[in-house]
Amino acid sequence: MRIGLRILLGYFLIVALAAFLLMRVFTQEIKPGVRQAMEDTLADTANVLAELATDDFLAGRIDDGRFAARVRALGARDIGANIWGFRKSQAEYRVYVTDAAGVVVFDSTGRDLGRDYSRWNDVLLTLRGQYGARSTRSDPDDDSTSVMHVAAPIRDGRRIVGVLTVAKPNSAIAPFIARSERTILRWGFVLLGTALAVGLLAAWWLSRQLGGLRRYADAVTAGALATLPDAAGEFADLGRALETMRERLEGKQYVERYVHALTHELKAPLSAIRGAAELLETPLPEADRRRFAATVVAQGERMTQMIDKLLALAAVEHRQRLEQPEPVPAAAMLEAALTPFRDDPRRVPVALDIDARCRTASLFGDAFLLRQMVANLVDNACDFAPAGSVVDVTLAPVAGGRLAITVADRGPGVPAYALDRVFERFYSLPRPHGGSRSSGIGLAFVAEVAALHGGRATLGNRDGGGAVATLELPQWPGATS
């Protein structure tokens, strides 16, 4: 399981558990909270009515006096109230009064007049001077039928002579409780949805940051050109640490590899120079002396070229990306790269053919590196081209909005065993004219520059004999050919 998914599941589990507990607490507290508020209101109402009923009760006319008439008239009153979206048309109070023995002497509904209520908690406790209240179900198995009763004493001086009880069915407040529960549940689900969305966003961001660093590490491991991905916070610090580690490890390996390779490649010219120098120390005919002196100069020049090309290759290999790419007119770049070969009479003639669709096309990259890359290919082709032949250079569009530069000669071609190795550093083939091998760095430089520009270089054999090198390079964004 990916770390982003793990974090998402853990985060959502914690939020869901917290939301569940919160909703459960709220929903469990709504009903008792509302009923407590109703009980408080009933207690106030009972005490107010007990004060109003005292005169009629003491005068013995509690069932037919003015108090009884007004309370009974309450049932016919149209309240016409709109309470938080709920219509209320009539009062739902039941009022009854018991004497000091607990016998009902007044009942606003008239159904329990004369009954003994002395054992009900509201009457029993109030007659004892305590707070009397109860909640009783008319159907023992149905909580929705419960009725709350709150009593208040009727006093004659300091003596309790009766009890007035106000009763109200709990079903009267059930719609408010249900609506509150629905509201809490609805917002609870909104909370869960929001938490899930935030979790998904956070997991996506985290996976994106880690994925970028993982792909970067994989690319570095594979030896490909890799650019440190954009990151934020600790991920940026981690990315910079990985980049620093890569640079140091690559730098160490790079130096070791180059030292070994350079040492190997310099052995041949150094041996030739040492042999020529030893012979020059002895008396020699003038012709031999000149030949050995020319050998020293040629081998020295070979080492110089090797070192210069090696430095150029090292500079390109060290770069992970183009710092400031620019549009490079393809036709003008090719003309500039081929000019030195056309001006040198010792070189094989070079012919340039540019497709009409590419006359105004531009390449994406570094003009200097592109010229050097083409020059290396042409130089290599001229070394293998036989006298009297022509090196053909073409520029044409290819699929994917790219441009293809081909350099073809009519030389011996590339042996099958060398096709997969021609772009390796220090790998070279003998020249057909008997000259010494090249440094084996030119084609490696070509491959590195092509990759740096987001393109690729290939080398194969040409129909009819010879070799053909192909460069596929991206055009400048928005350019048309």
Kindly report, residue by residue over 95-119, the tens digit of the pLDDT.
999 999 999 999 998 888 999 999 9
Predicted pLDDT at 111 = 86
Predicted pLDDT at 325 = 79
Per-residue DSSP letter, 437: P
- Positive or negative, the CA dihedral 94, 168, 47, 104 is positive
Per-residue DSSP letter, 397: E
* Residue pair 42/148 in contact by the 8 Å Cβ criterion: yes
Question: Which residues make Cβ contacts (< 8 Å) with residue 216, sequence separation at least 6?
Answer: 226, 227, 228, 229, 239, 242
Predicted pLDDT at 38 = 84
Q: Given the DSSP bridges, would you call strands 104-107 and 350-354 parallel, antiparallel or unpaired?
A: unpaired
For 385, the token pair is 């081209």
Whose tokens are 């293998």? That residue is 384
Environment class of residue 95 by beta-carbon count within 10 Å: exposed (0-12), middle (13-18) or buried (19+)? buried
Return phi, psi of residue 156, to 5°. Answer: -115, 90
Q: Which residue ranges of the chain lie beneath pLDDT 70?
A: 1-8, 11-12, 22-31, 80, 83-86, 89, 220-235, 239, 245-269, 299, 301-302, 305-323, 426, 432-440, 478-481
User: Between the CA of residue 152 and those of 37, 44, 52, 240, what are the distances in Å?
Assistant: 17, 9, 12, 78
For 223, the token pair is 């030896």
Strand order in the sheet with 159-169: 104-107, 94-99, 159-169, 146-156, 133-137
Predicted pLDDT at 228 = 64
* Residue pair 365/325 in contact by the 8 Å Cβ criterion: yes
Transcribe 172-197 into DSSP letters. GTHHHHHHHHHHHHHHHHHHHHHHHH
User: Quick one: three-class SS letters along 100-114?
Assistant: CCCEEEEECCCCCCC
Residue whose C-alpha is closest to residue 57's, from 181, 155, 197, 175? 155
Tens of pLDDT, residues 213-222 = 777 777 766 6
Distance in angstroms between the alpha carbons of the first and the last residue of the chain: 48
Environment class of residue 370 by beta-carbon count within 10 Å: exposed (0-12), middle (13-18) or buried (19+)? buried
Mark residue 43 as left, alpha or beta (left: phi above 0; alpha: psi -120 to 50; beta: remaining): alpha
> Directed axis angle between helix 367-384 and helix 442-452, to 10°?
150
Task: Tell me how far the alpha carbon of residue 178 is from its chain's centroid.
Answer: 41
| Euclidean distance between CA atoms 211 and 217, whole angstroms | 10
